[in-house]
Structure 1
């Protein structure tokens, strides 16, 4: 589908999304997992994991910046984007998908993982299950939960859960008119439009959102924190969903102090609100990571 980048988009954004990735897929636990790659296979990996109800295209304007030195990979978690749906979802399964995609894309060496929102929780789970793969982790406004917080959220869920059947729209324009970020906050219109156009698909009944509305119904395996040896960065918006208590949970018991960066004025969807500031943080993480593992200047 054409992304139709508007003329209001700055040149850096237009150049980034014009850098077309490789598209491929791998089967994980019976589901086809779609992913896209930039950079040379076998280069040190940079793994980008989207949030809930999102898709790999949220990284299209960020990934090309790192393709010269890294094998950059963004996947569609099952239940999202162009990947298959499952009967139920767990962070363990999504972590297996990240690992399988990293291997298939030849991005498994010296990997850094950047995860937005739910993608950050997937990143934590991946770092626990595969500490040799994920040694550096960047959480981008990820709502890290403990058992008490999870119980509170589950009590607030409507009885019977959310219907999984997606609403259909008669046209692409009608669907795009209804595209909303949750929670909604001021984002860059051209970035929001770019991801919106990749968020819908046409089937026999019309146009619908690509994600499975039941992707979070059975999530109970929430990880409290990454392994103590993980190098952790926590990026959050001033008006995002991360609290001081959540930061304390995820940064406690680390061998090295975590990098914690608050973006003034930002909400939850930092990749669409302040992508250049986010890339500045990723630059710092990769520079330190490269120096530590002997990869050169980064």
Structure 2
């Protein structure tokens, strides 16, 4: 089911699939879209109702003049409201994990959270500068094939199976006069308040599973140690995926799906510190 809900004047697109009654809400990262989860969906949709969201400025959702984690939090809450969701599990990648942490800290309908390679900066690890929105080339790509050939995962990592990347690249394109360009918004201003995410992480009361890649360029060993100090020890579990890089939900989909199920049934694990 494809649907849309208006959040602060902008349409937020989301897709619902699966045959279960328990809601799993999947939240993508920066400049990504809901299809980033395509390798995981078939592994879970026979047991859960999966809700795949395009945050504003991404995928097929509308654009804004200004973006922030609280605004993206409102996007997710708007979708939960539209669905009448209760007891939802949030699974999120990268920047989407910051959004999920804020939703879980403020919305009692969230039952548990799993974040994949999400940076929680604020202690020893320096806070990275937020780059300007990528402007892309002025002239559209003439064909989808040309555009897909230029598609790159960011940050860079060792090559991933092209069959995993091709559907994402194709879904990241939209038609414009003269050809094709990327769907994400290039003009809206992004503001990122690390303290909002930090305070939300400290305030979490629901179970959270923090997953990161052994070789991630985003969640380094120091950043993982920061997260272990920041997140509540009584409700947080940490998992390092051996050989993993940043885009875990693509090249480690089977393991990520299993971890999401652990998060959906928190009695199956207990806080145990960093593992792997």
TM over 0.5: yes
TM-score range, shorter chain: 0.7 to 0.9
From 114, 119, 122, the equivalent of 2:96 is 119
Shift in Å at residue 165 of structure 1?
Answer: 6.2
The residue aligned with 1:36 is: 15
The residue aligned with 1:178 is: 150
Distance 2:147 2:188 in 1: 21
Shift in Å at residue 246 of structure 1?
Answer: 2.7
Shift in Å at residue 166 of structure 1?
Answer: 5.7
1:264 aligned onto 2:222: no
Determine which structure has greater relative contact order: mean sequence separation of CA pairs < 8 Å that are 6+ residues apart, divided by chain length. 2
Q: Which moved more, 1:140-149 or 1:262-271?
A: 140-149
- Specify every segment of 5 or more residues in structure 1 that has no aligned partner in the other structure, as ranges: 1-21, 293-298
TM-score, normalised to structure 2, is 0.86
What count of residue pairs does the alignment treat as equivalent?
Answer: 262
Q: Which moved more, 1:52-61 or 1:26-35?
A: 52-61
Distance 2:53 2:149 in 1: 26
TM-score, normalised to structure 1, is 0.80
From 122, 147, 151, the equivalent of 1:146 is 122
From 189, 200, 216, the equivalent of 2:162 is 189
Distance 1:278 1:287 in 2: 14
The residue aligned with 2:273 is: none
Distance 1:203 1:35 in 2: 22
Verify the 8 A CA contact 1:166 1:213 in the aligned structure 2. no
Paired residues for 1:1-298 under 5 Å: 22-40=1-19, 43-106=21-84, 108-130=85-107, 132-146=108-122, 149-150=126-127, 152-153=128-129, 157=131, 161-162=132-133, 164=135, 167=138, 168-185=140-157, 186-214=159-187, 217-220=190-193, 222-224=196-198, 225-240=201-216, 241-251=218-228, 252=230, 254=232, 256-288=234-266
CA, structure 1 residues 267+165, in 2 after alignment: closer, same or farther (shift >3 Å)? closer
CA, structure 1 residues 162+71, in 2 after alignment: closer, same or farther (shift >3 Å)? closer
- Specify every segment of 5 or more residues in structure 2 that has no aligned partner in the other structure, as ranges: 271-276
Shift in Å at residue 94 of structure 1?
Answer: 0.7
* SS of equivalent to 1:77: coil
Shift in Å at residue 274 of structure 1?
Answer: 0.9
Shift in Å at residue 124 of structure 1?
Answer: 0.9
Distance 2:189 2:249 in 1: 21
Q: Deviations over 1:258-292 (max 9, x none)?
A: 22111111110011111011112112222336999
The residue aligned with 2:274 is: none
